[in-house]
Amino acid sequence: MSTLSFSAIQSMELREDDHVIFYNTYGYSDGDTWVVPMRIYVYEYRPGTLNLITRFVRRIRDLNDEQAYFFRERARDFIVDSESRETVLFMFDDDPEQEIFGITDDEGNYVRSSLNGIIEGDFRIPKERIDQIVAHQQRDDGWLTIRAVSDGHTGSGKIKLLPEEGLSVISDVDDTIKITEIPAGAQIVVRNTFYKEFSPATEIAELYETYDDAFFHYVSGSPWQLYRPLAEFAFSDEAGFPTGTFHMKSVTKNFLSLSTWRDLRELVLNEDYTYDQKIEQISDIFDHFPNRRFILSGDSGERDPEVFNRIRELYPDQVEKIYIRDVVNDRELRPERLEGMTIIPAPTVFPGQTQFEWEN
């Protein structure tokens, strides 16, 4: 916690060029304290570079107006300038004490952003203070809202404090809630990721609606640079997926690099990297909530069945059910792979083939 007063923060000269993403997160109970694992990104827009790269990609990929628009929106966070050595301070909306907080290290010093613009750490706050803030925010959805108040930073975020007991859903993203067609290969994956409107798996949205008392964690093999378009898609009225937290790959990629397109394919298609990432991130959530029950939901196009089997081995008393959206017809070709899982049939994805029309 900081000793800075809100009036001192207000008197600082603010710049509009540095932005902050507070990624949606959760809090878990630790005695008389709430612990909130936080990930914060500090960056500056590069609109000129983004426009230049969009024109270049549009020409070499022969994109029409709509496809170029989607590329620009999806590429935006790959092209921003990451701001290093920044301290981000924040405040809860409607806090009657207007107290300023920040992520601190073990010695109580503020954690500054890395060379990649990232601040990560656990934020701890007494439950008594949270009760006071909750009473004043009075939000119907149970999320607490925060906003940046440090010099030169603008941005806001949300925190959901989860009870020790209850139901949580761990959900994959690509080919589980969003039709990406990963088994079709890199060219189609890049097309569906960057050049067209995202398409929801409606049967999964309908399934998730039946768990109205659950909290959702979306664990994705996609890089954090796609967080905003994915969250906007998933939590939109059109897609209809429950609001939750995202847990994604930490990578540094830039569209100015000659190897960018090869690396983007690697990010999506390297199953070993994704397997390890998902095991680690899902295990962290289970460890924070040893008394909660969990449903695991993924697809057969990648290694979700293997990931979920491993999680079930590690936490046998907590895994209540596993859903697999079968996009490679494993229910007939390799039924042993899906043993003990509830299969949700889906159109089979074949290498080099897509179910979507492609227009230029």
Q: What distance in Å separates the CA atoms of residue 94 and residue 116, rounded to the nearest whole number?
A: 31
Kindly indicate the confidence band of residue 262, based on its pLDDT and cuts at 50, 70 and 90: low
pLDDT value at residue 251: 75
- Per-residue pLDDT at 110: 96
pLDDT of residue 273: 73
Q: What is the mean pLDDT of residues 161-184?
A: 98
Mean pLDDT value across the chain? 90
* Residue 265 pLDDT class (50, 70, 90 cuts): low
Above 80 in pLDDT, residue 8? no
Mean pLDDT over 106-126 rounds to 94
Q: In the prediction, which pLDDT does 140 show?
A: 81
Phi, psi (rounded to 5 degrees) for 279: -60, -45
The helix/strand/coil state of 138 is coil
pLDDT tens-digit series, residues 286-303: 999 999 999 999 999 999
Residue 319 has pLDDT above 60, yes or no: yes
Residues 131-158 have pLDDT tens digits of 999 999 988 888 999 999 998 999 999 9
Give the dihedral sign, CA 171/173/174/176.
positive
Question: What's the pLDDT score for residue 264?
Answer: 56
Rounded mean pLDDT, 260-276: 63
Please compute, for residue 18, the number of CA atoms within 13 A of its CA located in the half-sphere on the CB side: 21
Q: What is the pLDDT at residue 9? A: 36
The pLDDT tens digits for 184-240 are 999 999 999 999 999 999 999 999 999 999 999 999 999 999 999 999 999 999 999
260-269 and 271-288 helices, crossing angle to 10°: 50
Mean pLDDT in residue range 105-126: 94
Beta strand residue intervals within the chain, DSSP E: 18-22, 25-30, 33-44, 81-82, 89-92, 101-102, 118-126, 143-148, 156-161, 166-171, 214-223, 244-249, 292-299, 319-326, 342-345
What are the Cα distances from residue 200, in Å, to 80, 239, 240? Answer: 28, 6, 9
- Residue 137 gets which letter from DSSP? H
Average pLDDT over residues 73-93: 94
Q: Are strands 214-223 and 244-249 parallel, antiparallel or unpaired?
A: parallel
Q: Classify the C-alpha dihedral 292-298-304-306 as positive or negative.
A: positive
Q: Specify the pLDDT at position 125.
A: 97
State both tokens at 108: 């109580």
Q: How far apart are CA 188 and CA 194, in angstroms?
A: 10
The residue behind tokens 């159109």 is 347
For 70, the token pair is 């989607």
Share of the chain above pLDDT 70, in %: 89
What is the DSSP track for 35-55? Answer: EEEEEEEEEE--HHHHHHHHH
Predicted local confidence at residue 257, as pLDDT: 46
How far apart, in whole angstroms, are the C-alpha atoms of residue 88 and residue 153?
7
CB atoms within 10 A of CB 206: 10
The pLDDT of residue 256: 47
- Report the SS3 class of residue 89: strand
